[in-house]
Amino acid sequence: MGEVYLAQDTKLDRKVALKILPAEVASNRDRMRRFVQEAKAAAALNHPNIAHIYEIGESDGTNFIAMEFIDGVTLGEKIHRERTELRKLLRYLQHAAEGLAKAHAAGIVHRDLKPDNIMTGPLRNPLEDWRGRDGRGLPR
């Protein structure tokens, strides 16, 4: 739900991933509620393998989530484009499982776990996109 852009947080001088909710979606109360719930669900989690949420807001009628920018590629890209060796892929999956365990302990289910929602950075690989196909990344 929404597109993600690389942006600059000018107040804190850092790169952020900015997830934008399309205007036609923002006008739908149910979808807007799910957008806010996605941000709240992810923000409630504090783990090195889960992308941090910095802010949710609205500017000039555009709703957004500002989150941690992970300088890397998705696990899907590692699998299909880079042909990463199995040992490394398993390590990425272990990190993802650790993040998921933290979420599950808090009663939160990802609902859209796939290689394209796992970022692989130099030190860790946070999970992103906590909503799932039905828009719910909420307590189970």
The H or E element containing residue 61 is none
Measured from the Cβ of residue 15, the count of other Cβ atoms closer than 10 Å reads: 13
Point out the catalytic residue in the list 9, 13, 30, 112: 112
The H or E element containing residue 8 is strand 3-9
Active site residue 112: yes
Please check whether residue 42 is in contact with residue 130, taking contact to mean a CB–CB distance below 8 angstroms.
yes
> Catalytic amino acids?
112
